[in-house]
Amino acid sequence: MTLTLWQTKRNNAFSVTNSSKPNAPNAMSISQDGADFTYFSVMKFGSPGRDMYMLLDSGSANTWLMGSSCQSQACQIHNTFGHANSDTLNLTQTTFSLAYGTGQVQGTMASDTVSFANYSLELGFGMATTASDDFLNYPMDGILGLGRAASEELGVQSLMDALDDQEGLKEKIFGIHLQRSSDGTKDGQITFGGVDASKFKGKLEYTNAINNSTWEIPLDDGGVDDKGVGFKGKSAIVDTGTSYWLAPPGDADALHALIPGSYHNGETYLVPCSTTANVFVTFSGVNYTISPKDYVRGGATGSADGMCYSNIIGHQAYGPNQWILGDVFLKNVYTVFDFDNARVGFASHSVSSDSSTTSSLSSSSPPTTSPSSSSSSSASSAQPSGSTTATSAEGPSKTVSSSSAGPTSSPAGGVDSSPFGQAGATSGAPERPVNLGCIIILAFIIGLIL
């Protein structure tokens, strides 16, 4: 595996594992940080424009990037965007604020041409004028909201709605393949308007979403190897912007109890570094296997006991029956987010996703019918809470607030000094979970690698 240094306009660099250019039409490559924690794609904003690394977040429909007028230290070490980069940039007088616990971004709403994956469209987005130091350590210059329209809080059209309206998608879907860095394939890819049949084997199995704002789907069960826990009434939010698998403590306890030699340390768990146990989740009667390559964090803990931290975290982000499945799970499957039919589809990764293989854009239809009995689909190897304030010069501000879903301790077992603890509501509106999104990534990475 080769890490290349992505140089920004200033004297700094981030280690990035760049993926190969996709052969499939209407697709863009997904790169990552080399540690399977953050996944992002390069998009050109403006005309003549500037390339920006945008973190992919299916947990939210909010899109923002770091603006050139931002003087925060986090902005100083990232690519920023402004009038110097584009003759077509339209800045408004509407301000926004997205709060992630003690970390936040604030700025001004804007619109411009955005080019990616053979598309070029007009898109509204936020341009950050301030960003907390919590964004210092990660390669992305902004966040691309790929969530459902109901989770959009900035008062503009979501990316997928804009893409469908302006480009006339055959199907309002996107398919996503997240690569595991250790495999060295460098073939991460997101495809819009269809799926890339070269990235998966077998058929796509769909599960209908159970609410209108997130990609939350009912869970049949979960377990380890051939033994199920017997979960009932559980659901999972499928989120590309979350690195880990978050489950309420009781559920995480039940899963880890089936991994021989495991034990917990607060919200985190330790498992034998040498474990070969495969964890699975079941949706619509199909089992999907999560390899120990993904749920076991490599490297010893510093004690001489041969134990490693688990990437399955015992944290209740929302209700007592709600899980969040992030990249720990998604690296093991090809995933389709279907806006037209409000459903999520999974298929097992293809045996080899060689970048030289000819790719084709395929329809996700007709929908497959899931078997009533459980079958196996195993791979080779899982919203920032926040407040959003839109303030217009012509009228009073509009505030949408929510409670935080962020954990308060790091997977390393210590106190997490990251920005993602409880956020106070800023209005009298009832608290509600909005999008966990990418911010859970940052909360955990700080505890893991700093």
Whether the predicted pLDDT of 132 surpasses 80:
yes
- pLDDT, mean over the chain: 79
% of the chain surpassing 70 pLDDT = 73
Going by pLDDT thresholds of 50, 70 and 90, the confidence category of residue 24 is: confident
Identify whether residues 255 and 198 lie together within a single domain: yes
Q: Are 217 and 238 in contact (CB under 8 A)?
A: yes
Structural domain containing residue 332: 181-378
Flag whether 435 is in a domain.
no
CA 133 distance to own-chain centroid: 20
Identify whether residues 167 and 230 lie together within a single domain: no
Alpha-carbon dihedral sign for residues 248, 62, 448, 1: positive
Q: State the pLDDT at residue 410.
A: 37
Identify whether residues 8 and 59 lie together within a single domain: yes
Single residue among 378, 395, 428 that ends a domain in this structure: 378
pLDDT digits (tens, 9 = 90+) for 301-358: 444 589 999 999 999 999 999 999 999 999 999 999 999 999 999 999 875 443 333 3
Q: State the pLDDT at residue 100.
A: 56
Identify whether residues 100 and 232 lie together within a single domain: no
Alpha-carbon dihedral sign for residues 105, 109, 110, 111: positive
Identify whether residues 20 and 166 lie together within a single domain: yes
Going by pLDDT thresholds of 50, 70 and 90, the confidence category of residue 153 is: confident
Whether the predicted pLDDT of 40 surpasses 50:
yes
pLDDT digits (tens, 9 = 90+) for 265-280: 889 999 999 999 999 9
Identify whether residues 59 and 201 lie together within a single domain: no
Average confidence (pLDDT) over 203-225: 97
Identify whether residues 157 and 216 lie together within a single domain: no
Q: State the pLDDT at residue 362.
A: 56
Flag whether 447 is in a domain.
no
Going by pLDDT thresholds of 50, 70 and 90, the confidence category of residue 18 is: confident
Q: State the pLDDT at residue 182.
A: 84
Identify whether residues 107 and 25 lie together within a single domain: yes
- Identified catalytic residue from 239, 251, 294, 338: 239
Quick check: is 239 catalytic? Answer: yes
d(CA 196, CA 180) in angstroms, rounded, equals 18
Flag whether 215 is in a domain.
yes
Flag whether 441 is in a domain.
no
Which tops the pLDDT comparison, 448 or 360? 360
Average confidence (pLDDT) over 123-147: 93
Flag whether 263 is in a domain.
yes
Flag whether 427 is in a domain.
no
Q: State the pLDDT at residue 103.
A: 62
Single residue among 147, 172, 197 that ends a domain in this structure: 172
Note every long-range contact of 254-260, with CB atoms under 8 Å and residues 24 or more positions apart, other chains counting. 254/229, 255/222, 255/223, 255/224, 255/229, 255/279, 255/312, 256/310, 256/312, 258/223, 258/224, 258/225, 258/227, 258/229, 259/224, 259/310
Whether the predicted pLDDT of 446 surpasses 60:
no
Kindly report the CATH number assigned to the domain that includes residue 238.
Answer: 2.40.70.10
Whether the predicted pLDDT of 13 surpasses 70:
no
Single residue among 120, 149, 172 that ends a domain in this structure: 172
Segment among 43-47, 237-241, 299-303 with least mean pLDDT: 299-303
Whether the predicted pLDDT of 434 surpasses 80:
no
Quick check: is 57 catalytic? Answer: yes
Whether the predicted pLDDT of 9 surpasses 70:
no
Identify whether residues 67 and 194 lie together within a single domain: no
Domain count along the chain: 2
Identify whether residues 218 and 301 lie together within a single domain: yes
Identify whether residues 207 and 156 lie together within a single domain: no
Whether the predicted pLDDT of 223 surpasses 90:
yes
Which tops the pLDDT comparison, 406 or 170? 170
Identify whether residues 331 and 207 lie together within a single domain: yes
Which tops the pLDDT comparison, 439 or 318? 318
Flag whether 449 is in a domain.
no
The residue among 176, 220, 196 whose CA lies nearest residue 375 is: 220
Average confidence (pLDDT) over 207-220: 96
pLDDT digits (tens, 9 = 90+) for 377-397: 433 333 333 333 333 333 333
Flag whether 142 is in a domain.
yes
- Identified catalytic residue from 33, 57, 327, 416: 57
State residue 204 phi and psi, 5-degree precision.
Answer: -80, 135
